[in-house]
């Protein structure tokens, strides 16, 4: 008999997935930053990577496995076969094509929708109780596509939405005050990216609203130009792309933060993309970001903030443009 047979007496065949299993689809810059953040912050001890690039997949898996003893012995697996994702509590989707030169956003959305048709049904087939966390862009439309393709209830289909936008927003405001970003209570909601909605009426430090100090904060006519901060949230995304060609760390950490909130059944509240029909007078079936509490079953509740009519109007504008984009989409 082998050394192993002499060394061990098997009691049970431990093959079941851990109850913190997370699958990351797409091992590009964002997917790897997600996986590495989740592993290094001990958020999951069982991570599976899925992609179509066999060698890249195996290389990243081996490289992470070699670090297992520094990752609290977390298990890292990878496969091009979705069966490897079976039993995942959360499936994070970062797969997608990059915008080509001169490609319209609608072409990109259709291309990513085709990619999703080959991903979403397989994830749900192998993990029928999973929560989908969509990151691929345009994230709000693709979260809607994932919801349609998956047939999952709306609480279990979440887009990273304006979680990253809000994180950049808090960081920039914190820099102005020289305080910690987690001590800045500020929310960006609506459509992720260029047309997001900063809720200036709610920005507060220790419950003191900036608007109570100066009612013009965040408006076109405020002396201190606070609304420049929201413009900087957008320009900093382009700046990072210009400087390093992609973004990874902030979005990876943001997704790890959402993964942790869900797996710990925390009811933490984050701005994530959810089905917003019925909120703020929106009637269309569209996904936009609102503050949502996150638990082991996904979205537990949505916070109905009081918005100014400008803030509400911006949400409706996004909802209308998204409804049009979705109408032209073949899902
Ligand atoms: N929501 C946000 O805040 C946010 C922030 C940054 C990036 N993103 C988005 O994340 C996505 C990924 O960005 P990236 O820089 O990692 O791109 P990338 O091109 O580096 O990686 C994409 C990966 O997807 C894989 N892929 C393609 N088709 C696939 C399929 N059918 N099945 C499995 N894997 C497939 C590719 O092989 C590649 O490894 C992009 O859509 C980007 O716009 C979103
Ligand atoms: O930090 C990013 N980087 C990306 C990126 C990452 C790799 S290539 C481009 C980025 C940066 C700048 C613009 C932009 N636009 C875009 C719009 C629709 C798409 F389908 C894809 C990309 N995307 C992807 C993305 O969503 C972000 S966050 C972001 C973007 C624009 C404005 C505000 C924020 Cl908070």
pLDDT band at 104 (very low <50, low <70, confident <90, very high): confident
- Tell me which of 193, 244, 254, 272 to substitute to probe ligand 2's pocket, judged by most ligand atoms within 8 Å of the beta carbon: 193
Active site residue 163: no
Determine how many CB atoms are found less than 10 A away from the CB of residue 62: 11
Q: Is the pLDDT of residue 237 over 90?
A: yes
Q: Exposed, middle or buried by CB within 10 Å (0-12, 13-18, 19+), for 264?
A: middle
97 alpha carbon – ligand 1 mean position (Å): 6
Supply the pLDDT for residue 284: 95
Given the residues 192, 230, 270, 280, the one annotated as active site: 192
Q: Is the pLDDT of residue 15 over 80?
A: no
Contact 124, 151 (CB under 8 A): yes
160-191 per-position pLDDT tens digit? 999 999 999 999 999 999 999 999 999 999 99
Average pLDDT over residues 91-99: 92
Give the Cα separation of 45 and 75 in Å (integer): 6
Q: Is 139 in the pocket of ligand 1 (CB under 6 A)?
A: yes
- Tell me which of 25, 94, 117 to substitute to probe ligand 1's pocket, judged by most ligand atoms within 8 Å of the beta carbon: 94
- Tell me which of 237, 250, 329 to substitute to probe ligand 2's pocket, judged by most ligand atoms within 8 Å of the beta carbon: 237
Q: Is the pLDDT of residue 8 over 80?
A: yes
Average pLDDT over residues 131-137: 98
Beta-carbon-side half-sphere exposure of residue 110 (alpha carbons within 13 Å): 9
Backbone dihedral angles phi then psi of residue 237, each to the nearest 5 degrees: -65, -45
**Percentage of the chain modeled with pLDDT above 70:** 100
Q: Is 235 in the pocket of ligand 2 (CB under 6 A)?
A: no
Residue nearest to atom 26 of ligand 2 (CA): 193
331 alpha carbon – ligand 2 mean position (Å): 23
Write the ipTM: 0.99
| Lowest-pLDDT choice from 34-38, 51-55, 90-94, 105-109 | 105-109
Contact 297, 89 (CB under 8 A): no
Average pLDDT over residues 263-275: 98
Give the Cα separation of 155 and 1 in Å (integer): 52
């Amino acid at each position: 008999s082998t050394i192993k047979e002499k060394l061990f007496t098997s009691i049970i065949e431990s093959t079941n997935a851990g109850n913190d299993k997370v699958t990351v689809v797409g091992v590009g810059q964002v997917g790897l930053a997600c996986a590495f953040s989740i592993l290094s912050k001990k958020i999951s001890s069982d991570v599976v990577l899925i992609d179509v690039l066999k060698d890249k997949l195996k290389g990243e898996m081996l490289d992470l496995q070699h670090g297992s003893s520094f990752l609290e012995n977390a298990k890292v697996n990878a496969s091009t076969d979705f069966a490897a994702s079976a039993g995942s509590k959360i499936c994070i989707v970062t797969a997608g094509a990059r915008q080509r030169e001169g490609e319209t956003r609608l072409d990109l959305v259709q291309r990513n929708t085709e990619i999703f048709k080959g991903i979403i049904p397989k994830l749900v087939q192998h993990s029928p109780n999973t929560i989908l966390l969509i990151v691929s862009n345009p994230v709000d439309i693709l979260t809607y596509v994932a919801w349609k393709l998956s047939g999952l209830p709306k609480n279990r289909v979440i887009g990273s939405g304006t979680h990253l936008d809000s994180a950049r927003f808090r960081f920039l405001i914190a820099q102005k005050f020289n305080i910690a970003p987690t001590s800045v209570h500020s929310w960006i909601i609506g459509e992720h990216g260029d047309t997001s909605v900063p809720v200036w009426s709610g920005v507060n430090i220790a419950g003191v609203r900036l608007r109570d100090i100066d009612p013009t904060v965040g408006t076109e006519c405020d002396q201190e130009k606070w609304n420049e901060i929201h413009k900087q949230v957008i320009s900093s995304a382009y700046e990072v792309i210009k400087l390093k060609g992609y973004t990874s760390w902030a979005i990876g950490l943001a997704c790890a933060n959402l993964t942790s909130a869900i797996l710990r059944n925390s009811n933490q509240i984050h701005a994530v993309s959810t089905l917003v029909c019925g909120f703020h007078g929106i009637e269309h079936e569209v996904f936009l970001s609102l503050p949502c509490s996150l638990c082991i079953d996904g979205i537990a509740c949505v916070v109905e903030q009081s918005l100014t009519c400008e803030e509400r109007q911006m949400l409706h504008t996004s909802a209308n443009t998204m409804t049009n984009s979705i109408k032209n989409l073949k899902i």
